[in-house]
Amino acid sequence: MIQRPVLSTERLELRVPEGADMAALIAVTADDRTRRYLGPQSTPADQFGRLCRNAGSWLLYGYGSFVVRPRGSDTVIGSIGVFHSWRGLGEDFDDQAEAGWILHHDWVGQGLAEEAMREVLRWFSASHGKRRIVCMISEGNKPSIRMADKLGFRSLRSATLPDGDAVLLFERTIV
């Protein structure tokens, strides 16, 4: 049985995704401004694969990404969390807890992603103990790089994904 935590912040509610969230998650990344740093993962099939990998992370490791909604609303505005990944980027990155955040472009610039990630990191630490967490950010995504720094992530190295995208890899230890 999967633990299905529900997290709340001052402005947001975060819950474990369900199959019924598929259309809303597709809508979040359908916007070109939202998708610009996500690589070629833009089709419904790609989003389905992301949702299934996340479900597997919850099932196998007890943590994953959350669907993000404004408090008191059913509108899905993003996906944020710590999930387990294996990207083929090497021993220092693969088979690790990985943080990630995606908010629809209409909701960025309000501090919501940072607010949500701080709550997720608090929950992760309380539920899974002090752990190393990695994250991957496209080289040009300056707002996410700034947010990673605010959250305590430190530069690990740069890498190139199989599709040719240049990314920066970061790491953080929850204390």
- d(CA 123, CA 117) in angstroms, rounded, equals 10
> How many other CB atoms are found less than 10 A from the CB of residue 8?
11
Tens digit of each residue's pLDDT (9 = 90 or more) over 79-120:
999 999 998 999 999 999 999 999 999 999 999 999 999 999
Confidence at residue 12, expressed as pLDDT on a 0 to 100 scale: 98
Confidence at residue 175, expressed as pLDDT on a 0 to 100 scale: 62
Topology of domain 6-173, CATH:
Aminopeptidase (3.40.630)
Domain boundaries, the chain: 6-173
Strand ranges inside 22-165, DSSP E: 65-70, 78-85, 96-103, 132-138, 154-160
- d(CA 148, CA 99) in angstroms, rounded, equals 9
What DSSP state is assigned to residue 151?
T
The rounded mean pLDDT for the chain is: 91
- d(CA 29, CA 104) in angstroms, rounded, equals 7
